[in-house]
Amino acid sequence: MKQSSMFIPTLREVPADADIKSHQLLLRAGFIRQTASGVYSYLPLGKKVLQKVENIVREEMNNAGAVELFMPALQQSELWQESGRWYTYGPELMRMKDRHDRDFALGATHEEVITSLVRDEVKSYKRLPLTLYQIQTKFRDEKRPRFGLLRGREFIMKDAYSFHATKESLDEMYDKLFTAYSNVFRRCGLNFRAVIADSGAMGGKDTHEFMVLSDVGEDTIAYSDTSDYAANIEMAPVVTSYQKSGETLAELQKVYTENQKTIEEVSSFLDISAEKCIKSLLFKIDEKPVLVLVRGDHEVNDIKLKNLFEASIVELASAEETKEIIGATVGSIGPVNTKIEIVADEAIKAVVNGVCGANEEDYHFINVNPERDFKVQYADLRFILEGDPSPDGNGTITFAKGIEVGHVFKLGTRYSEAMNATFLDENGRAQAMIMGCYGIGVSRTMAAIAEQFNDEQGLLWPKNVTPFDVHLLAINMKDENQASLAEEIYSSLKNDRFDVLMDDRQERPGVKFADSELIGLPVRITVGKKAAEGIVEVKIRKTGEMQEVHKDELAQTIQTIIDSL
Ligand code: 9G3
C-alpha cells in the first residue's frame, strides 16, 4: 500500500482529553478518531488491526466447533420483555422507537435474540449441542465513557452462545472455549490471566473473566503469590479464620461521643482499635432496609451482599433514609435494639467488647458482644484484602489491576426458561435448553494491545496483529536511484507475500521517521544514500537494532526478523 494514497492523519501533539497511553497513541498515530463521546471511527490502520484480531478470534472459535452467524442490532422490545430485562435494565440500554412508534433496543448483547432464534428452530436433543457466535457492534450507553476504546458506547464484541441437552455437554464446550480464549489472547501477545468472576446479573454459576494486566484496568484482581489462584475482587471469597480474644465480657455501656461519626473518629476518641469497632451501614436490598455489619477496618462487598440476597438492586441508603428508618444518622447507628434485619460479616463473630453506634445521636455503645447484645446471621460480606490468605489455601493475596477483555458464563436455563426454549429429550419430554455465553471485547482487545505494546516513540504492534509487516521508507522520491530501488523492493516484497506500507510521500525525512516510529510496524526498511549500491537500512522497531542489507538478501532478512519476534 502506498502512503500517498492512504489516510493516516498523524498528530504531533498529545490530544488533551486522552489520558492513557493507548488512547493517546491510537489517536496520534491515526488509527482512530472520536466522533461522539465513547463513539469512534476506525481509520484504515485501526481497521486493519481490528481485522487481524477478529480473524484470530474466528480461527479459535471455529476450531472449538462454534459456527459464525450475524444477528441484528435492532431488537424488538417484546424479546426483552419476555426475558424481563426490558424492565430491569436502566439508561445503559439504548432504546428507540421506529416510525410506527414500536419500541426497540439497540443490541447491548444478544441472549434474547439468539434464544428466540434457536427456540423456533431446534426441537430435538439430536440437534444439540449447538454453539453460535457473531462479531458485531454493541451499544451500551455508559454513563462515563473514557479511556478511548476501553470503555466506549459503541464497541465491537464477539459474542457466542451455546445450547446443550445436559450440564456435562455445557461443561465440555465451556472448557473448549476457555482454551480458545487463552489461545486468542496469547496469539495477540497479551499478558492475561483467567480469573474467577462474579456471575452478576447473568445468574450463571461458573464464570471466568479474561483480564489483561494493566495499571489502567478498571477491575481489581486478587491473586495468590504462590499458586495460580486469581479472582475478580468482586467475588474473591474470604477464608480468614478469626480468633476471639480471651478477655472476659464487660458490661454493655452507653457513652457520649459528641460529633464522633467515622470509625477513625470513634476509635481514636474512645481509644479503641478499628478492629474492635463495628461499622454499621444501612442498605436497601431490592428496596428492603437491611443493616450490614463489618469490622471497622473492612469494607462491605456489595456484590457479595447482592448474591447473598439474590437481589437485583443493592444500594446504600441515603443519610435521610437512614435517619428516617433508624432514627439516628449514619455514624451513630448500630445493631443493638435494632428492629430491622441485620447481617454481619464473619469477622464480627470474633469481636469481644466492641464498639457500635447506639442508634441515638452522639452516643455509642462500648463492651458490645455479638450473640449477647444482638442476634445476627453471618456471611462472607467483606472485600478481600492484600495479605489475606488465598482462598485456595496456597499463599497470600496480592492485588493487580486488569482490563476485562473476555468473559465466559455458564448460564444454565436463565434465558431458555424465561423464553420457553425447550427441546424433546430422548424420552420425548420437553426440557429447557442449558446455555452458555461467551464474550470477547474485540475493539477493547485492540486497545489493550496498544496499552501493553508501546514506548516513548509510539506504538509497537506484535507481529500477529500489526496493520502491515514492513514499513518501506523512500527518503527522497526525487532521487532516481532511491525511487527506483524503493519501487523494486516494494513489488518484490509484495510478491514474497509481505504486507508492505510504502511511504512515498513528498515529506521531509524527519516527518517520515517520526510517523514510522509512531505507527509502530515491526520492521522498517529505509532506502537512502546507498540506493545506487542496492544497499538499504533495516531497523527492528522493538529493539531499535539496525543493519545494512543488500536488496538481494532483503526478503530473507525480513523473514528471519519477523520469525524471531
Ligand atoms: C444490557 C446492557 C449492558 C449489559 C448487559 C445487558 C453486560 C449484559 C452481561 C453480558 C453477558 C454476556 C453475551 C456475550 C458475553 C457476555 N452489560 N451484560 O447482559 F442490556 Cl445495557 O453481556 N453476553
Tell me, using a 6 A CB cutoff, whether residue 159 lines ligand 1: yes
Is the separation of the CB atoms in 208 and 197 below 8 Å? yes
Supply the residue whose CA is at minimum distance from atom 23 of ligand 1: 109
**The dihedral sign for the CA sequence 94, 97, 99, 100:** positive
Q: How far apart are CA 116 and CA 95, in angstroms?
A: 19
The predicted structure's pLDDT at residue 539: 98
Name residue 546's beta-bridge partners.
539
Pair 218, 134 in one domain: yes
Number of domains, the chain:
3
Residues 6+ apart with CB under 8 A from 374: 335, 336, 337, 338, 342, 368
22 occurs within a structural domain? no
Dist. CA 85 → ligand 1 center (Å): 10
Dist. CA 157 → ligand 1 center (Å): 11
87 occurs within a structural domain? yes
**CATH number of the domain that residue 288 is part of:** 3.90.960.10
Supply the residue whose CA is at minimum distance from atom 1 of ligand 1: 108
300 occurs within a structural domain? yes
Supply the residue whose CA is at minimum distance from atom 17 of ligand 1: 108
Dist. CA 439 → ligand 1 center (Å): 9
How does 247-269 read in b/e, with b if 16+ C-beta sit within 10 Å?
eeeeeeeebebeebeebeebbee
The 3 state secondary structure assigned to 329-366 is: CCCCCCCCCCCCEEEEEHHHHHCCCEEEEEEECCEEEE
The 3 state secondary structure assigned to 266-331 is: HHHHCCCCHHHEEEEEEEEECCEEEEEEEECCCCECHHHHHHHHCCCCEEECCHHHHHHHHCCCCC
Is the separation of the CB atoms in 361 and 332 below 8 Å? yes
- The one-letter code for the residue type at 5 is S
Tell me, using a 6 A CB cutoff, whether residue 93 lines ligand 1: yes
5 occurs within a structural domain? no
Dist. CA 140 → ligand 1 center (Å): 9
43 occurs within a structural domain? no
464 occurs within a structural domain? no
The boundaries of the domain holding residue 522 are: 470-564
Dist. CA 296 → ligand 1 center (Å): 35
DSSP 2: B
Pair 133, 223 in one domain: yes
How does 372-400 read in b/e, with b if 16+ C-beta sit within 10 Å?
ebbebeebbbbbbbeebbbbbeeeebeeb
Residues 6+ apart with CB under 8 A from 497: none
Q: How far apart are CA 182 and CA 163, in angstroms?
A: 22
Q: Where are the beta strands (DSSP E) in 73-129?
A: 74-76, 95-97, 103-106
Pair 88, 194 in one domain: yes
Pair 331, 408 in one domain: no
Helical H segments across 375-508, by residue range: 414-418, 442-452, 480-495
Tell me, using a 6 A CB cutoff, whether residue 24 lines ligand 1: no
In the numeric block, the cell 469481636 is attached to: 351
3 state SS of 32? strand
Pair 131, 266 in one domain: no
Q: Which residue of 109, 154, 414 sits with most ligand 1 atoms within 8 Å of its CB, as the best mutation to test the pocket?
A: 109
Is the separation of the CB atoms in 537 and 548 below 8 Å? yes
Tell me, using a 6 A CB cutoff, whether residue 89 lines ligand 1: yes
End position of a domain, from candidates 352, 379, 406: 379
Residues in the chain: 565
Pair 270, 174 in one domain: no
Pair 223, 327 in one domain: no
End position of a domain, from candidates 379, 409, 425: 379
- The one-letter code for the residue type at 111 is E
Residue pLDDT tens, the chain, 565 long:
999 999 999 999 998 889 899 999 999 999 999 999 999 999 999 999 999 999 999 999 999 999 999 999 999 999 999 999 999 899 999 999 999 999 999 999 999 999 999 999 999 999 999 999 999 999 999 999 999 999 999 999 999 999 999 999 999 999 999 999 999 999 999 999 999 987 554 444 589 999 999 999 999 999 999 998 999 999 999 999 999 989 999 999 999 999 999 999 999 999 999 999 999 999 999 999 999 999 999 999 999 999 999 888 899 999 999 999 999 988 899 999 998 999 999 999 999 999 999 999 999 999 999 999 999 999 999 999 999 999 999 999 999 999 999 999 999 999 999 999 999 999 999 999 999 999 999 999 999 999 999 999 999 999 999 999 999 999 999 999 999 999 999 999 999 999 999 999 999 999 999 999 999 999 999 999 999 999 999 999 999 999 999 999 999 999 999 999 9
Pair 55, 89 in one domain: yes
Dist. CA 108 → ligand 1 center (Å): 6
Tell me, using a 6 A CB cutoff, whether residue 202 lines ligand 1: yes
10 occurs within a structural domain? no
Dist. CA 258 → ligand 1 center (Å): 48
Tell me, using a 6 A CB cutoff, whether residue 522 lines ligand 1: no
Residues 6+ apart with CB under 8 A from 231: 195, 196, 197, 221, 222, 223, 237, 391
End position of a domain, from candidates 379, 407, 432: 379
Supply the residue whose CA is at minimum distance from atom 8 of ligand 1: 109
The predicted structure's pLDDT at residue 413: 96
Q: What is the dihedral of CA 36, 38, 43, 46, to 10 degrees?
A: 170
- Of 270, 36, 45, nearest to 145 (Cα)? 36
Tell me, using a 6 A CB cutoff, whether residue 60 lines ligand 1: no
CA angle centred on 562, ends 557 and 565, rounded to 5°: 130
Pair 438, 311 in one domain: no
- Of 96, 457, 395, 26, nearest to 34 (Cα)? 26
Dist. CA 109 → ligand 1 center (Å): 5
Tell me, using a 6 A CB cutoff, whether residue 108 lines ligand 1: yes
**CATH number of the domain that residue 505 is part of:** 3.40.50.800
- Other CB atoms within a 10 A radius of the CB of residue 11 amount to 13
Pair 481, 527 in one domain: yes
**CATH number of the domain that residue 117 is part of:** 3.30.930.10
Phi, psi of 197 (to 5 degrees): -120, 170
Dist. CA 105 → ligand 1 center (Å): 13
Pair 90, 220 in one domain: yes
- Of 237, 324, 332, 321, nearest to 278 (Cα)? 332
- Other CB atoms within a 10 A radius of the CB of residue 277 amount to 25
88 occurs within a structural domain? yes
Pair 522, 560 in one domain: yes
Dist. CA 89 → ligand 1 center (Å): 10
The answer to whether the bond into 522 is cis (omega within 30° of 0) is no
Please report, for residues 145, 413, 464, 538, 559, the alpha-carbon distance to residue 555 in angstroms, rounded to integers and kept in the order given.
44, 55, 18, 11, 6
Tell me, using a 6 A CB cutoff, whether residue 75 lines ligand 1: no
Helix H or strand E encompassing 49:
helix 44-63
